[in-house]
Amino acid sequence: MKFFTTVHDVASPQQLLQEAIELKKDPFGFSELGKNKVLGLLFMNPSLRTRLSMQKAAMNLGMQVIVMNINQDSWTLEFNDGAVMNSTRQEHVKDAAAVMGLYCDIIGVRCFPSLTNREEDYSEKILLQFMKYCKKPFISLESATLHPLQSLADAITIKEFQKQKIPKVVLTWAPHIKPLPQAVANSFAEWMRFSEVDLVITHPEGYELQEDFTKGATICYHQTEALLDADFVYVKNWSSYNEYGLMPKVEEDWLLSEQKMKLTNNAHLMHCLPVRRNVEVPDELLDGPNSLILQQAENRIYSAQVVLKKMLETNYNKLQNVVEKNVLMEE
């Protein structure tokens, strides 16, 4: 594996998922694989799970880890080609990423969207520039549009807890106090297409996701209708894609409740965390017997570990040639 930025980077998502489940049974079985290899983690935004699970996964494989909060601990980066850097941005990503590529064997970057410029966010301009200039195997730690490590962990969790051959999985929009990215929802929808599930996405009008990501899913504007007989309920807020980054007014009550969960097939409750308790999801559901929030967080270790393992197993010299020849973005 050369890159992990979307489900489309994975030759067989189901095989990767099975391999992650095997790794979980024996997390230290490949502790020599990462010897003398360095993982570099670059965060442009806050993180708890992604940061720590990546470190734990790398340690399980015997790797060393370097972590940096970009723009806080480092110089402030410029991303525009040809910029005259006479203002507040002190270093171009072209130089910074290239240097990091010299220090690290695998690089991961977290870069959230602006939520102000849809075209730029959905072009993944920031992520692609890091990929282009670091010239190393590359992992998205959540980009402007996708969060593949989270979705792989979610798919593992569903696999572990499903009782039905084809479970009904409902992704439901939830209230929030501020606009959030669409990345977790986009990514979950994208990964579920490669799982044997019946996916229903429910949200108020005005919160439609980009159709590229939701292909194959049933879209339902009535939460209670969507919840009927659900086996898994994944709760997440996202801001509007059409009225980009805004929060169109919602009249109905979209906060999930024990009463609403009675409509389901005793469904498991999922959330990627962090969660604003009693705003997005009530305490009684998060702390209830059907909650899988900690299982999802634990599986972040194994989604990260299986991706790192696949990258470490790749022939590095061959990989370097591929990266240089198959240009990610035209010069």
Compare residues 104 and 180 and give the one whose CB is closer to ligand CP.
180
Compare residues 169 and 183 and give the one whose CB is closer to ligand CP.
183
Compare residues 250 and 273 and give the one whose CB is closer to ligand CP.
273
Count of beta carbons in the 10 Å neighbourhood of residue 262: 10
Compare residues 63 and 183 and give the one whose CB is closer to ligand CP.
183
Cβ neighbors of 32 (< 8 A, separation 6 or more) are 62
Q: How far is CA 22 from CA 135, 302, 320, 323, in A?
A: 30, 9, 29, 29
CB of 303 to ligand CP, least distance (A): 11
CB of 54 to ligand CP, least distance (A): 9
* Residue 169 · residue 155 · CB < 8 Å: no
CB of 284 to ligand CP, least distance (A): 22
Compare residues 47 and 223 and give the one whose CB is closer to ligand CP.
47
Residues that bind ligand CP (CB under 6 A): 47-50, 142, 150, 272-274
Strand partners, 170: 200, 233
Residue nearest to ligand CP (CB): 50
Q: How big is the chain, counted in residues? A: 331
CB of 176 to ligand CP, least distance (A): 14
Q: How far apart are CA 40 and CA 42, in angstroms?
A: 7
Compare residues 49 and 118 and give the one whose CB is closer to ligand CP.
49
Question: For residue 235, which phi and psi values (nearest 5 degrees)?
Answer: -105, 135
- Nearest Cα neighbor of 198 from 218, 215, 181, 179 is 218
CB of 248 to ligand CP, least distance (A): 25
CB of 109 to ligand CP, least distance (A): 13
Cβ neighbors of 40 (< 8 A, separation 6 or more) are 65, 66, 67, 68, 100, 103, 104, 106, 107, 108
